[in-house]
Amino acid sequence: MPKRKTIPDPIDEDSGLSSAPDNVDEGPAVLAESGPAISPPPAKKRKTTVKSKVVKKEIIDGDAIGQEAPVGATPKGRRAAKNVKAEVVKSEIEEETVEGAADASEPPKVKKRSTKKAAIIFETKADEDGEAKPKVVRKRKTKEEKEAEAMPLAARTIGHRLFIGAHISSAGGVQNAPVNSVHIGANAFALFLKSQRKWVNPPLVDEVASSFHEHCKSHSYDQTKHVVPHGSYLVNLAHTDADRTTQAYDAFLDDLQRCERLGIKLYNFHPGVANSTNGDRAKAIAHLASNINRAHAATSTVVTLLENMAAGGNVLGSTFEDLHDTIALVDKKDRVGICLDTCHAFAAGWDLRTPEAFKATMDTFDAKVGMKYLKAMHINDSKAPFNSRRDLHANVGTGFLGLRAFHNIVNEPRFEGLPLILETPIEVKDADGNNIKDDKGKDKEDKQIWATEIKLLESMVGMDLESEEFLRLESELARKGEPERKRLQEQIDRKGEKEAKKKVKAEGKGRKGKKESSGSELSE
């Protein structure tokens, strides 16, 4: 049960916040002030069935008195009522009346309240046994706290030739995404249009869509060019099972229709996996393309972007050939494109670290897929080594790609005007790369990391690779990522050694079996 917090008594305007003790009773017992606990006076009890009752427990001159108020009733402390959010439940509970009450039907007699007390407001909710359990209602943020959180972490660089942003939160509705993007100083952004963990989601309401349009306009975001929603990880358009196909297609089409209502033209998604075709890539790609064609026919403007993938095996999009073969089967070529992920490309064996390697990779992409299809990029470093087939994003300059790879990217003229989206982690690390913990012992997160990375990438346009500034940045970032790089390298090395031993053992068995077979033939 989470630690309870006390809030000021609604009657006492001058009382401050007081912390609840750690040893809170799990039942409807009362939190007491510092000092020995005082037992409540004996009370008459009667049972009744109640609907949606809000229980408020208070400390009154050292006595614990339970006061119950049905939902809809107007309590004396109106400020308390605003903090209570009751649920409609049916449960059988014991009502308590103060000893000496004339009749159980009469309201309990309450002693005069003291101005020195703490109050906690609970919300009743029935458990599996039908018993009413109290739940603490959290204190709301003040106006000042909300304003402080809304202050931009960095100013946007208006007019920059690169449109750099991050995959930001759309919690509370997609209309909040443009504001969240402004908060980190971004000129582009990605988002989820709905929960990517569920198949069924509430529809997009007109008010939310209108608000999204208004926020994009007021903050100068062109959602036809620089907003790139990410598709659900649940969707596999390459799955050939009829029921799975319907489920995936319906979710995919719903996203495209949301895009059109929001004025968004680019939509990024993962191509899928060829497991249902037993590894037959051609069959899986044909099924994927047919679903894309169906969705294009049902919509009119959205350009669907296939994302290149890191893993090999049956994962589609892990080779440039997969992307080419899929596009070849799409009927409307003007409505299909590629979102190139730098971490995925590196992990799949496409090097970007030196100017020569970067040029060779992009030339190969142009030859096999076509630069005209590149519509967006995901800008991520890699925790895992080159050609590892591991999809592990790292902060810019801290991974195996290194800062020079991103210098190549931001100085590539063909990437100007494209949305360049960070999908990097925002866990806070110290100078040696160790995670910093928050007050609750969890890894501390800070969106300032995205704001800093955006400004870093923008600043590297035209920067001299041998300048003191670049060398300092390169060294500092490499040091921060060293623990993770070392850990992953050791992991990859152990796996390689294990696979090598298996291979030698299998070859030995093969030679032994061949020798025995040859000896048997000679004896015959």
Is residue 393 annotated as part of the catalytic site, yes or no? yes
> What does DSSP assign to residue 450?
H
Is residue 296 annotated as part of the catalytic site, yes or no? no
Distances (CA, A) of 363 to 300, 360, 374, 412: 32, 5, 13, 12
Pick the catalytic residue from 197, 219, 472, 479: 197
Pick the catalytic residue from 378, 404, 407, 485: 378
Pick the catalytic residue from 123, 307, 322, 453: 307
Kindly calculate the radius of gyration of the chain based on its CA atoms and give it in whole angstroms: 31
3-state secondary structure of 361: helix
The Cα 124–Cα 89 span in angstroms is 8
Is residue 407 annotated as part of the catalytic site, yes or no? no
Is residue 12 annotated as part of the catalytic site, yes or no? no
Which DSSP string corresponds to 25-41? Answer: -SSS--PPPSSS--PPP
Is residue 344 annotated as part of the catalytic site, yes or no? yes
Distances (CA, A) of 143 to 140, 150, 211, 451: 9, 11, 22, 24
Pick the catalytic residue from 167, 270, 296, 485: 270
3-state secondary structure of 72: coil
Q: How many helices (H) and strands (E) does the chain have?
A: 12, 15
Is residue 270 annotated as part of the catalytic site, yes or no? yes
Q: Is residue 468 within 8 Å of 417, Cβ to Cβ?
A: no
457: nearest Cα among 403, 378, 398: 403
Structure tokens that stand for 8 in this block: 């000021």
Is residue 230 annotated as part of the catalytic site, yes or no? yes
Is residue 213 annotated as part of the catalytic site, yes or no? no
Structure tokens that stand for 162 in this block: 């690169």
Is residue 160 annotated as part of the catalytic site, yes or no? no
Pick the catalytic residue from 58, 322, 341, 381: 341
Is residue 167 annotated as part of the catalytic site, yes or no? no
The Cα 388–Cα 37 span in angstroms is 61
Is residue 391 annotated as part of the catalytic site, yes or no? yes
Pick the catalytic residue from 233, 443, 490, 494: 233
Catalytic residue set: 197, 230, 233, 270, 307, 341, 344, 378, 391, 393, 423
